Amino acid sequence: MFVVAPMPSASAQSASAAACLGELRGRDLLSSADLSADQTHALLGLASALKQGQLRVDLSGKVLGLIFLKASTRTRVSFSVAMGRLGGQVIDLDPSVTQVGRGEPVADTARVLSRFVDALAIRTFEQREVDEYAHWASIPVINALTDLEHPCQALADYLTLQEAFGELEGLTLSYVGDGNNVAHSLMLCGALLGVNVRVGCPPDFAPDDGILQRARSLAAAQGARVEVVHDPVAAVRGAQALYTDVWASMGKEEEKEAREQAFAGWCLNEDLLAEADPRAIVLHCLPAYRGLEISAGLIEGGASRVFDQAENRLHAQQALLAALLGGV
């Protein structure tokens, strides 16, 4: 059973936000675009309330299963701690010690696990694999990172932006680097929130065109813009948030040297920060290679919100688990 009890100093959530969160009960989160604008705002509001201790959520008796086929620090730990703080449990279904890693069909695994656990968070390579789990499972399935998207990261990122500036609508987030899974979810989630998202990348490393067109359609409905430019200075000019990620994502390590050459001149550094809004914050989803995609000075400097951003993975995922597993 899901219980939300206000702490003495908390104010009640608005009826509309509660309704939006209630709509998420039992749902999957496979893409940032699986949420509506109102649902995304409501999740950020719930995450903020949980972070500030304004709400208490009881998911005792609920169990989250983790299936991670890629290495993870922040995602694995934040999901585990989030579920524990909500009173639930986590079972780590390590592929090396379960049949998951021995070729058991997803259709069988998903149906069996649906009888044991209450939700699955899956980190894998191909998007079609989380889609297949969602098709066969009768419990919520969460995309904990695929090669196409990273929706949980985007929720934490926009929670960080909201903390820094209050209202999100009309802000500009500039992402400088590879048009990868993080860039995709930043575009989609930002579009829903009315944030202008500007992706700067070399021409051969642009985001997926289908994701780009979907993000532009969502952004237009919110009066926002999603752009792709191929000059780092043009990408960051006037932006309130500067964001980057590693140039060679997991699974593309063999391209590391070639990508370092292709991205020469694209390091997020003090010169680029000087082109942004004077209030601009610096973000990186970590792990970071200082001196490559970001300068050491920026990640450790006064504009950095990188470690607040990492902490917010915990709070955003608490909110997501609370909504998917309980309803409000």
Q: Which of 20, 152, 267, 285 is catalytic?
A: 285
240 counts as catalytic: no
Q: Which of 41, 150, 184, 259 is catalytic?
A: 150
By C-alpha distance, which of 126, 71, 94 is closest to 246? 71
Q: Which of 198, 284, 305, 313 is catalytic?
A: 313
Contact 313, 75 (CB under 8 A): yes
313 counts as catalytic: yes
As given in the structure block, the two tokens for residue 232 are 């780092």
CA distance 279 to 256: 33
131 counts as catalytic: no
Question: Burial letters for 258-283: b for 16+ Cβ neighbours within 10 Å, e otherwise?
Answer: ebeebbeebbbbeebbebbbeebbbb
Residues near 316 by beta carbon (within 8 Å), at least 6 away in sequence: 43, 44, 47, 152, 155, 156, 159
DSSP 8-state class, residue 204? G
Residues near 143 by beta carbon (within 8 Å), at least 6 away in sequence: 29, 30, 31, 122, 127, 130, 149, 150, 151, 152
Q: Which of 245, 284, 309, 317 is catalytic?
A: 245
Q: Which of 41, 74, 76, 123 is catalytic?
A: 123
Bridge partners of residue 51, in order along the sequence: none
Q: Which of 13, 74, 76, 153 is catalytic?
A: 153
27 counts as catalytic: no
Helix (H, G, I), strand (E, B) or coil at 227: strand
Catalytic site positions? 123, 150, 153, 245, 285, 313
